Amino acid sequence: MAFELIDLPYDDTALEPAVSAKTLSFHHGKHHKAYIDKTNAAIDGTDLQGKSLEEVVAAARGSNPGLFNNSAQSWNHGFYWHSMAAEETSASDELKSMIDDAFGSVDALKEKLAERGAGHFASGWVWLAIKDGKLSIEETHDGDTLADQSGANPLLVIDLWEHAYYLDHQNARPAYLDAVNGKLNWSFASENLARGTTWKYPA
């Protein structure tokens, strides 16, 4: 069974003005779809066909760079869409307590995410994750992912590739980060924390 491009969990206009409908149309309908299509083509007729996307990512890491990049980017984008929400959301009491302990407040965490994202060289991703039982901000470069990383359970991610923001904010990544920080889906993060295992790309 081939992987499918998952639907956005909101309307194209739901994240405006942080992320425009035009950006979502290209980012989801072109970039994400291309990663999915290339992943499907690469595993067609192999023993990876029928495996979960997480299994494909893990199998390709270190052995098949092309498949790894496309499968990891497929997963990262699916996670990214769910990391944002059309309406304001709140962290669970458990997550809020962990945020307060690690960063002082949700606002302080948002500032740290924006700071790390702005300082990240070139393309990549900035994550809020559970690592060694504590909240941690992690960065991955280019198409790398936390999807198959033991010991790191991702809760949220922000895309740092230029195609995520260039149509709306040109080269001003900090402006994008400030805007998208207001759309972060704390309910999704809370669900990932409560589950205790890495989110699975929908089959």
To the question of domain 19-203 being in CATH 3.30.43.10, the answer is no
Average pLDDT for 156-172: 96
- pLDDT tens profile 71-102: 999 999 999 999 999 999 999 999 999 999 99
- pLDDT tens profile 1-48: 799 999 999 999 999 999 999 999 999 999 999 999 999 999 999 999
Q: What residue spans define the domains of the chain?
A: 19-203
Q: What is the 3-state secondary structure (H, E, C) of the chain?
A: CCCCCCCCCCCCCCCCCCCCHHHHHHHHHHHHHHHHHHHHHHHCCCCCCCCCHHHHHHHHCCCCHHHHHHHHHHHHHHHHHHCECCCCCCCCHHHHHHHHHHHCCHHHHHHHHHHHHHHCCCCEEEEEEEECCEEEEEEEECCCCCCCCCCEEEEEEEECCHHHCHHHHCCCHHHHHHHHHCCECHHHHHHHHHHCCCCCCCC
- pLDDT tens profile 36-60: 999 999 999 999 999 999 999 999 9
